[in-house]
Structure 1
Amino acid sequence: MFPFEHIIILDKKSKVSVYKQVAFAIIDAIRNGVLKPGTHLPSSRELAALLHVHRKTVIAAYDELEAQEWITVYPRRYVTVAENLPLLQPKKWNENKTGFSYDNELNVPYRIIDPHVPSENGIPEVIIDDGHPDVRLSPISDLLKTYRLLTSRTYAIKNAHIGTAQGTLKLREELVHYLSVTRGLNISADNILITHGAQMSIYLAAQLLLNSQSAIIVGKPNYGVANKTFAETGATLIEVPVDKEGIDTDKIEQLCKKEKISAVYVIPHHHYPTTVTLSVERRMKLLELSARFSFVIIEDDYDYDYHYASSPYLPLASAHHQGNVIYIGSFSKILDPSLRIGFMVAPKNFVAQCTALRKIIDVGGDGYMQNALAMLIKEGELKRHLNKAKKMYHQRRDFLDELLRNRLSGHVTYSLPSGGMAVWIMLQKDFSVDDLQQSGKLKIIRTDSELNAFRFGFASMDERELEAAVNLLASRLGKRDL
């Protein structure tokens, strides 16, 4: 029999539950080519005996692996590694004018970033965001209480001003544990850079990885701000279709065979804007292509923490990738969009250069806030908030689904996402998404004219607000409120 007891090494002192350790070990063995598609795994009873654990622990691990599509369970018969996984080899400044000075325009040459800067005229009755958390549920009061406490203690004042260019050591150390338990990342504090949100992480990575000779692959459709960030470096953007299984890795392979690709930007969990999740098969292939063609994967994992049906797939960054995955996350999607704290996980040498670049534009973050967040994580308050928020967002997702089916059926199509904070809604051809906001009562943050679609962020709205939003959409689409 295959020596499973030698590839599944358990640490009973670890804060990671034993069943997750078993699942992580089997996933690693599959990713590394040790366990091939179709390989039979021991029964739950046999594996429990080999590992000296309770059978229920192995059953929980197998349930998790099956939910993430790594294995196939044939009830009362046997368990195998999923057959559809790819086979991998084992890894060995005019004229003066009256008025105030600043009523004048700057009439010297300067670079134009966006020629069409929108103007905000009043506040609409209903704003449909693209997937924001509900600040009313957030433990902001606890965070601010800790913040005020830290500003009154001498040792805390000193610590809040040390090393903030990379992020306070206290927060980075706390994240080492947090990311290990929640995402399976094996990292140190030196692998982490704390930023003013995920967008800063994307910018820093792009500035160091790309130039006018570079090419970067992005999904189509994609997160527009990321596309602009990459384009500002002078790099060539190559769009690859995103379907129901995520970005098309076969197309990526074809492109890599024709030209040098420097990086691939991917959002594996709930792709923005379509909310689809990258399949296990494509995740594995993307990692294999990265190793074979030597390109960097920029993994934007902006809302990893929100899954409703089952535990989320592990990030690409948790796999063995020779350090070529730049992992980006944010607490803005957990606590408050205005709380700009994000993070980047990368090899130490890359983090060091990102820190150096960050110092040129921003000497450092808010040390008090970072340390207050660290305490929130350490004391388990963040975990408790996430558990409460996930339950509430799940209910809101299902309520929105019911509203859409009852009031907008025949006008819209959508696939209900397994997690996240938004639904990607496509309109029928008889109505344009650009016409939805003409009344001025409604503002939709993210629309796509080409696909005639928009993102409906449901997490920040309670049931009354969701109903008001759908009623307004229904009136714009010519349907009578029910």
Structure 2
Amino acid sequence: MLPFENIILIDKKSSIAVYKQIANSIINTVRNGVLKPGTKLPGSREMASILNVHRKTVIASYDELEAQGWITVFPRKYVMVAEKLPLLHPKKWDETELAYSYDNDLKINFRIIDKSWCVERDTVEIIIDDGHPDVRLSPIDELLKTYRSFTSRQPAIKSANKGTAQGTVRLREEMVKFLSITRGLTINTDNILITHGAQMSIYLAAQLLLNTQSTIIVGKPNYTVANETFIQTGTQLIEVSVDEYGINTDQIEQLCKKKKITAVYVIPHHHYPTTVTLSVERRMKLLELSNRYSFVIIEDDYDYDYHYASSPYLPLASANHQGNVIYIGSFSKLLDPSLRIGFMAAPKNFIVQCTALRKMIDVGGDGYMQNALAELIKTGELKRHLNKTKKIYHNRRDFLNDLLQSQLSEYISFTVPNGGMAVWITLRKDYSVKQLQNTPLLKIIRTDEESNSFRLGFASMNEQEIEITIDLLHNLLKKQ
């Protein structure tokens, strides 16, 4: 029930009779949409008790409301807001009155976030994502089955509600082993923070490392959301080129000689969006520059587990460094984008501060889900899933490559990536990615107008869906 004692305000010193004050308050509440037609009101006795007035006063106000057509009274049953409300008085054309309070804008100054980079369209026939997993292949059933089992066992209930700001102990223990086996990281549970996806890890690192006096280097092009996160801290963001060997470390070195660099954000395994892999030489140089000029490397390794041509390079974080590499990853690319479980590996003192900051905006993650994921890792289910999907995604990449070569070669250029879940496609100069994006039939999640390129995610589509997508692209480009 609505808190009528707070909605109906009575001023006993007013010259307006109390019963009319009650009636006017109810009318205003109906006008504002708080009380909808057909809503039942408290009976006269109950309303009198709520408002601390005599019952006859409430009866008088209800009589007034019924006479004006605002309520319907069913004797000895109930009172309700009338289904057909009385017509409002005519208004002037220039008269502005909003029906709901929140139709008003907030007039007090507040910080504005530029979200032009994430405008979404919903009504499209085909969506080309930027490299999502195929959720239909994910072991979601097994994960949810384990999740449900934890919610019915008392010890599991207790452990799921402990220490989730940093991540449950069970998941962090499994992560230590998982990251050691798959990525060569030498860490312990104090070096891990579990987050709601990689983006939260990037945000936390940016908030602690960057400010108006700092400088961060990123690749060009780069992960747009990361750039926006860095810019919001007030830091100076400097872009350096990305070529077929990854981010240009010679340019980074020249910048380090001229000014103090706070951090370098790098995606070495499969750079986003171009998919190129950072060469061994540049990896070694970046680590050496980090040690020499004392800047932090924020290593975003969002899809490390998918590599097809050969064994993947180990992360920068696995090399011999001085604790100045913050390693960020996610399980969203393995299981489901909507399963927001990411992680950060870093020195203990930095993890402690990230955990404290995280608690200000998010008390903790879903302990049951974290422990269920830990069980998938422990039992080997996650490894089996990876082995299966790696083969499937590899085949889909090759299938897409054949179609691109046979149907779109006159319109595009591209390099087959060694791994990952997407291909970076550049249109030839006579064709426009902007025009492609503006068609109502198609939504492309990641485009780059400056390079006239877009990212085509293939992992989430089966062969039939890939064929349909390429057919549409072919028809659209043919018409340009």
Q: What is the TM-score of this pair, normalised by structure 1?
A: 0.79
Per-residue CA deviation, residues 67-121 of structure 1 (Å, 9 max, x unaligned), is: xxxxxxxxxxxxxxxxxxxxxxxxxxxx962322223322221111016476645
The 2-side partners of 1:133 and 1:228 are apart by: 25
| 2:195 counterpart residue number | 195
1:130: Cα distance to partner? Answer: 0.2
1:105 correspondence with 2:105:
yes
The 2-side partners of 1:121 and 1:226 are apart by: 22
Relative to 1, partners in 2 of residues 1:304 and 1:115: Cα closer, same or farther, differing over 3 Å?
closer
Contact 1:408–1:479 under 8 Å retained in 2: no
| 2:327 counterpart residue number | 327
* 2:204 maps to amino acid: L
In the TM superposition, 1:471-482 aligns within 5 A as 471-478=471-478
| 2:392 counterpart residue number | 392
The 2-side partners of 1:152 and 1:386 are apart by: 29
Q: How well do the aligned residues superpose, as a CA RMSD in angstroms?
A: 1.4
1:451: Cα distance to partner? Answer: 0.3
| 1:274 counterpart residue number | 274
* 1:382 maps to amino acid: L
| 1:305 counterpart residue number | 305
| 2:288 counterpart residue number | 288
Relative to 1, partners in 2 of residues 1:115 and 1:396: Cα closer, same or farther, differing over 3 Å?
closer
Relative to 1, partners in 2 of residues 1:276 and 1:121: Cα closer, same or farther, differing over 3 Å?
closer
In the TM superposition, 1:365-384 aligns within 5 A as 365-384=365-384
The 1-side partners of 2:110 and 2:346 are apart by: 34
In the TM superposition, 1:366-445 aligns within 5 A as 366-445=366-445
| 1:212 counterpart residue number | 212
1:158: Cα distance to partner? Answer: 0.3
In the TM superposition, 1:113-152 aligns within 5 A as 113-114=113-114, 116=116, 120-152=120-152
Per-residue CA deviation, residues 156-202 of structure 1 (Å, 9 max, x unaligned), is: 00000000000000000000000000000010000000000000000
Per-residue CA deviation, residues 385-409 of structure 1 (Å, 9 max, x unaligned), is: 0000000000000011011001001
Report sequence identity in percent: 73
The 2-side partners of 1:375 and 1:273 are apart by: 33
| 1:243 counterpart residue number | 243
What SS is found at the alignment partner of 2:478? coil
Q: What is the TM-score of this pair, normalised by structure 2?
A: 0.79
1:449 correspondence with 2:449:
yes
1:293: Cα distance to partner? Answer: 0.4
1:344 correspondence with 2:344:
yes
| 1:162 counterpart residue number | 162
Q: Which runs of 5+ in 1 are unaligned?
A: 1-94
1:122: Cα distance to partner? Answer: 3.6
Q: Which runs of 5+ in 2 are unaligned?
A: 1-94
The 2-side partners of 1:119 and 1:394 are apart by: 31
* 2:379 maps to amino acid: E
| 1:28 counterpart residue number | none
1:479: Cα distance to partner? Answer: 6.9
| 2:53 counterpart residue number | none
Relative to 1, partners in 2 of residues 1:99 and 1:136: Cα closer, same or farther, differing over 3 Å?
same
* 1:292 maps to amino acid: R
The 2-side partners of 1:463 and 1:175 are apart by: 34
What SS is found at the alignment partner of 2:193? strand
The 1-side partners of 2:152 and 2:432 are apart by: 55
1:319: Cα distance to partner? Answer: 0.7
Relative to 1, partners in 2 of residues 1:129 and 1:149: Cα closer, same or farther, differing over 3 Å?
same
Deviates more, 1:122-131 or 1:293-302: 122-131
